[in-house]
Amino acid sequence: MSQKKKKSGKTKKPNKSVAPSLNEDTMDEGKSNGIWHHWPWALLLLAVLYIVGGLMPPKAKTDLDYVAFGKLPILKGGRTKPLDSLARNSLRKISEREVVPLEGNAPDGSWGDLDKLKDTNDEGVYYRRWYQFNKRPKKLKATQWLMEVLFDPDKADKRFIFRVDHPDLAGEFNLHQKGVDLSGIQFFSFNQLREHLSKLESRSKAIAQIKQEQRDPHEKATIKLAGALHGYLQLRTG
């Protein structure tokens, strides 16, 4: 009996020595299985993020689009420039600004979209006043505006970007106080000026025969507006 016990005791020792190696293998296998066990959850998370990304508001996508669009190269004057540079320079020549405000005030002071305000108010619409600190009007950056001109010209035609510096010029075309006022300067849309294109063209051709130093402020403002409209039409027609 004692011999059998001793013999059986001896046979158990190798099993004890083998056990750690088996446990290590099992633990390694468990780690490996644990990693693969989490892969479906990782894939599910990626799928959710992808779907959520697709459901994000279009504003983020639009912002990305106009930034990427502005970086595209264009050949102008024998030099390669980004489209953002063309957009800013063009808008500056037309309106002497680099943004296009989209919101402002009605004659009664109510705040809203400029296009809608002009539909219901023929006169007296104005941009944000200097004292309206709480107002943060929506604006188009120059590149966003250029994208509208190229890809959605009907909407671009409604933007109040054409600056009329001289009151007599606005009066000549029956536009006095019919634009959007910014510190006493009126801004008009292409739609408002469209019917006056032929008259502006003939007037500017006549003024072009006069030397620049001999032109009065009214004539200079006429030439300036005609040039702005010409530049806009060049962009609009591609």
pLDDT digits (tens, 9 = 90+) for 91-141: 999 999 999 999 999 999 999 999 999 999 989 999 988 788 888 899 999
Flag whether the pTM goes above 0.75. Answer: no
Closest listed residue to residue 114, CA positions, set 131, 91, 142, 135: 135
Task: Identify the three-state secondary structure at position 18.
Answer: helix
183 domain-assigned = yes
26 domain-assigned = no
40 domain-assigned = no
Looking at residue 216, the DSSP 8-state letter turns out to be: -
Looking at residue 16, the DSSP 8-state letter turns out to be: H
Closest listed residue to residue 146, CA positions, set 224, 214, 71, 43: 71
- pLDDT at 34 > cutoff 60: no
Mean pLDDT across 62-84: 82
Looking at residue 125, the DSSP 8-state letter turns out to be: E
- pLDDT at 20 > cutoff 70: no
149 domain-assigned = yes
CA-CA distance, 93 to 89, in Å (whole number)? 6
**In which band, very low, low, confident or very high, does the pLDDT at 81 lie, cut at 50, 70 and 90?**
confident
53 domain-assigned = no
Number of domains in the chain: 1
For the stretch 134-146, pLDDT in tens is 888 999 999 999 9
Looking at residue 100, the DSSP 8-state letter turns out to be: E
2 domain-assigned = no
- pLDDT at 29 > cutoff 90: no
- pLDDT at 66 > cutoff 70: yes
Cα 192 versus chain centre, distance: 25
Determine what percent of the chain is predicted with pLDDT higher than 90: 53
Q: Name the residue range of residue 182's domain.
A: 71-236
Residues 90 and 231: beta-carbon distance below 8 Å: yes
Looking at residue 183, the DSSP 8-state letter turns out to be: T
98 domain-assigned = yes
Rg (CA), the chain: 35
For the stretch 182-223, pLDDT in tens is 888 999 999 999 999 999 999 999 999 999 999 999 999 999
Instruction: Tell which wins on pLDDT, 178 or 2.
Output: 178
9 domain-assigned = no
